[in-house]
């Protein structure tokens, strides 16, 4: 396992700037999650580290060594592709053994057999080992794909939305399992996901990408509580943060826009403090209730006591708590 350092990394495909001037350090043993919408450069970043794409400028150091001239094989990285590209002409067992049989690793067959069995059990697919890779369901293919990375002990694991096509239960199981493996082995892992729960629970650090640029890099707590912009604030949190013109609320305004996380809106009855809001509808999710409100023409979402039942069209009072202030361009000011 090793530390990976990106320095002023840029990559363009024709006129599209896929990655622009990214500088980040992935510490040895860290679990770093990249967040960002489609096209933000997450996958390109992984491919630049793995060596599948060549850098336009900047440098990548893996374990203190500049890898610019190295082939993917020489970089000793393991990657789980978003398209879980299993070798269709091989069985599951041979797919898992494929990296171990490479000319670089040349693992003895008895060690391969042991490792493959061990990984298959972790991923709950030991009964599928002798199936052709094409005879698996989507979820099974994805697990084999993860397994093909986990059989190795590389400098860094690169994972591109590895849990995206699994059902909810398996996803939760594997999330815990991946985190356990990572902290047991002290592996360095760079992980791309859209899933907030994965990001918050597994990451030691989160990097937020916007149009190829790294806009914030910090611990999940920092990113959540102290976002640098509206863009970063909207990456995490479900329901999403509410952004309103700050003049709606009376009091000191430190910026043009105010950001309120759903849990940071205090509600009280029509007779309480705060400004008036109309209940549009409430959604009962069991453990929480989401209130959709109308505040002077702006729709906002908040959470309320699961036992509290507000009728539609009733009026309540709301007041902000720990508000975040942003300027007109969306940058955090306070």
Partner 1 sequence: MSSFSVTEPSSRTKWFAGTLVVLYAVITMIPLVWIALTGFKSPADAISYPPKYLIGGDSDTSFTPTLEGYVNLFTTRTRQTPEFLDANPPETWADEIVRQYDMVIVGPSKFGERFLNSVIIGFGSTFLSVFLGTLAAYAFSRFKIPLADDLLFFILSTRMMPPIAVAIPIFLMYRQLGLSDTHLGMILLYTGVNISLAVWLLKSFIDGIPTEYEEAALIDGYTRFQAFYKVVLPQAATGIASTAIFCLIFAWNEYAFAVLLTTANAQTAPPFIPTIIGVGGLDWPAIAAGVTIFLLPVMIFTILLRKHLLRGITFGAVRK
Interface with partner 1 by CB under 8 A: which residues?
50-52, 71-73, 76-79, 81-89, 98-99, 102-105, 133-134, 136, 138, 141, 148, 165
Q: State the nearest-atom distance from the C-beta of 72 to partner 1, in Å.
A: 4
Cβ distance to partner 1 smaller for residue 13 or 312? 13
Q: State the nearest-atom distance from the C-beta of 34 to partner 1, in Å.
A: 18
Cβ distance to partner 1 smaller for residue 33 or 86? 86
Say which residues have a Cβ less than 8 Å from residue 169's Cβ, sequence separation at least 6.
none
How far apart CA 334 and CA 271 sit, in angstroms, is 30
Q: State the nearest-atom distance from the C-beta of 322 to partner 1, in Å.
A: 42
Decide if 280 contacts 294 (C-beta within 8 A): yes
Cβ distance to partner 1 smaller for residue 33 or 133? 133
Bridge partners (DSSP) of residue 209 are 214
Question: Nearest-5° angle of CA 253, CA 256, CA 261?
Answer: 80
Cβ distance to partner 1 smaller for residue 50 or 242? 50
Q: State the nearest-atom distance from the C-beta of 65 to partner 1, in Å.
A: 17
Q: State the nearest-atom distance from the C-beta of 79 to partner 1, in Å.
A: 5
Say which residues have a Cβ less than 8 Å from residue 204's Cβ, sequence separation at least 6.
30, 31, 32, 219
Q: Which helix (H) or strand (E) holds 163?
A: none
Sheet with 31-35, strands from edge to edge, namely 77-80, 156-160, 189-192, 31-35, 205-210, 213-218
Q: State the nearest-atom distance from the C-beta of 313 to partner 1, in Å.
A: 46
How far apart CA 115 and CA 111 sit, in angstroms, is 6
Cβ distance to partner 1 smaller for residue 52 or 295? 52
Cβ distance to partner 1 smaller for residue 105 or 266? 105
Q: State the nearest-atom distance from the C-beta of 318 to partner 1, in Å.
A: 44
Cβ distance to partner 1 smaller for residue 78 or 293? 78
Decide if 40 contacts 24 (C-beta within 8 A): no
Question: Which of 74, 80, 79, 67 has the alpha carbon at shortest distance from 105?
Answer: 74
Burial of 327 (0-12, 13-18, 19+ CB in 10 A): middle
Q: State the nearest-atom distance from the C-beta of 48 to partner 1, in Å.
A: 13
Q: State the nearest-atom distance from the C-beta of 122 to partner 1, in Å.
A: 19
Cβ distance to partner 1 smaller for residue 89 or 298? 89
Decide if 98 contacts 106 (C-beta within 8 A): no
Decide if 144 contacts 125 (C-beta within 8 A): yes
Cβ distance to partner 1 smaller for residue 111 or 333? 111
Decide if 207 contacts 24 (C-beta within 8 A): yes
How far apart CA 163 and CA 159 sit, in angstroms, is 9
């Amino acid at each position: 396992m090793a530390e990976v350092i990106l320095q002023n990394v840029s990559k363009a495909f024709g006129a599209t700037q896929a990655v622009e001037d990214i500088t980040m350090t992935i510490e040895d043993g860290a679990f770093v999650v990249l967040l960002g919408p489609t096209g933000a450069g997450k996958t390109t970043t992984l491919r630049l580290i793995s060596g599948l794409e060549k850098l336009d400028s900047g440098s990548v150091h893996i374990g203190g060594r500049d890898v610019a001239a190295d082939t993917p094989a020489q970089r000793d990285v393991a990657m789980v592709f978003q398209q879980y590209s299993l070798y269709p002409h091989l069985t599951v067992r041979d797919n898992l053994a494929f990296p171990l049989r490479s000319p670089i690793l040349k693992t003895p067959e008895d060690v391969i057999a042991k490792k493959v069995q061990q990984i298959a059990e972790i991923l709950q697919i030991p009964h599928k080992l002798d199936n052709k890779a094409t005879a698996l369901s989507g979820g099974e293919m994805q697990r084999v794909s993860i397994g093909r990375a986990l059989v190795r002990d590389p400098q860094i694991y690169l994972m591109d939305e590895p849990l995206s096509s699994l059902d909810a239960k398996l996803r939760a199981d594997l999330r815990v399992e991946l985190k356990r493996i990572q902290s047991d082995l002290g592996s360095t892992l760079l992980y791309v996901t859209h899933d907030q729960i994965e990001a918050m629970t597994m990451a030691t650090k989160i990097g937020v990408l916007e149009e190829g640029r790294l806009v914030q890099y910090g611990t999940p707590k920092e990113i959540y509580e102290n976002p640098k912009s509206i863009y970063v604030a909207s990456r995490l949190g479900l329901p999403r943060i509410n952004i309103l013109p700050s003049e709606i609320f009376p009091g000191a305004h430190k910026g043009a826009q105010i950001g309120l996380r759903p849990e940071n809106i205090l509600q009280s009855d029509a007779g309480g403090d705060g400004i008036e809001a109309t209940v549009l509808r409430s959604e009962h999710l069991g453990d929480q209730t989401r209130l959709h409100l109308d505040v002077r023409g702006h729709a906002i979402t908040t959470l309320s006591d699961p036992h509290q039942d507000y009728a539609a069209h009733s009026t309540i009072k709301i007041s902000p708590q720990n508000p975040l202030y942003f300027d007109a361009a969306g940058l955090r000011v306070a």
